[in-house]
A and B are shown apart, each in its own frame.
Chain A
Amino acid sequence: MRAAVVVFPGSNCDRDLAVAFEAAGAQVEMVWHKDSELSQNVDIVGIPGGFSYGDYLRCGAIAAQSPIVASVKAHADRGGYVMGICNGFQVLTETGLLPGALLRNAGLKYICKTVGLRVETSNSAFTEGYNAGDVIDIPIAHHDGNYFADAETVARLQGEDRVAFRYTDNPNGAIADIAGILSENRRVLGMMPHPERAADAGHGGTDGQALFRALAGVLATA
C-alpha cells in the first residue's frame, strides 16, 4: 500500500497519520499543499486533522481550494481511496467529495476526549476489520464536528449504507449521531474522530488499528 498524506499550513495530525499508515505496512509520502500532483502509484490519500489555513473563513474552506486538492479530487474520480480525519473530513465536505457540512459543536465548546463509536457497516475497505454493531473507543478533538446534511441527504446516506460510524453518546449535536460517512463508491471516508490516535498501545487504546490494517489488506492487492 502506498499512501500520501497531504500537509497544509496548520495540519497537526499529519505525522500521526503517517505513523499509523506505516505501522500497517504502508509506504508513505508527505505531500505539500502547494504541490499540484500526487505520485501516480498512490493507493490512498490521507487528509489529516489540524487547522488548515487557521480555519479562516470556515474550517477546511481554503484548503479545499489549494492546488493539491484538485489532484486529490482527480484521484477520487479515478476510483482512488481517500480518507479525511477531523479537519480532513471538513476539507472533503468543502470539496464536495462527501455530502453535508460540519457546523460548530452544538454545545459551543471544543471537546477533547475518547468517545464510543458504533461501527455501522463493515462493507468498506476502511471498516471491514470490524463487525457492524461493534462499539469502539476513539478520541475526538474538535470544535466544529457537528455533522449536518439536509433530510434527503441523510436518508440517502442511510439507505445506501454509507454511515460508517455513529456516536454512542453524541458529543457535538451531529445529525442522526453521524461521526463518519462513505462516498457513493465507498472509497472515500470522512470521520471526525481520530483512529490514528488509537493505533498504538502507547496511545492508551488500539481500537483504531483495525481500520489501518483492513485498508492495508485491501490495498496490498490493489
Chain B
Amino acid sequence: MKARVHVMLKNGVLDPQGEAVRHALGALGFDGVNGVRQGKVIELDLADGTSEADITSMCEKLLANTVIESYSVEMV
C-alpha cells in the first residue's frame, strides 16, 4: 500500500518560495495569479495493514512541523 503525504505551510505563514513563483508567473505574462503556495509531496511505500494512526504519527513526529506546516494524507 502507498500513502501520499502533502505538506504545506499553514495559511498566514509567509511562503517566500511561493511568492517568488508568483512573481515569475507574472513576468511570463500570466495575469490573475493571486497567490502561489509551494509545498511538498512525500510518498510512503508501506507494509500492507499499516494503520492510519501510524501514518498520522509519522506525519506529526517527522514529516510535517505542525508549528508551521499542515499536512494531508491520501491513500493511493
A contacts, CB < 8 Å to B: 57-58, 61-62, 65, 93-94, 99-101, 103-108, 146, 148-150, 173
Contact = CB atoms under 8 A, between A and B. Distances in A.
Give the dominant DSSP class at A's interface: loop
B20 to A, nearest CB: 6
27 contacts: A57-B62, A58-B65, A61-B62, A61-B65, A62-B62, A65-B62, A94-B65, A99-B67, A101-B65, A101-B67, A103-B9, A103-B13, A103-B14, A103-B16, A103-B68, A104-B17, A105-B16, A106-B14, A106-B16, A107-B16, A108-B16, A108-B17, A148-B13, A148-B67, A148-B68, A149-B67, A150-B67
Given A57-B63, A94-B65, A103-B68, 11 more contacts: A58-B65, A61-B65, A62-B62, A103-B13, A104-B16, A104-B17, A105-B16, A108-B17, A150-B67, A173-B14, A173-B16
Contacts of B9: 103
Nearest to A64: B62
B3 to A, nearest CB: 16
Which of A93, A94, A101 has the most CB atoms of chain B within a 10 A radius of its CB? Answer: A101
B65 to A, nearest CB: 5
A93 B20 CA distance: 26
A43 to B, nearest CB: 29
A93 B67 contact: yes
A101 B66 CA distance: 9
A100 B16 contact: no
A106 B9 CA distance: 14
A149 B20 CA distance: 23
Nearest to B19: A108
B68 A101 contact: yes
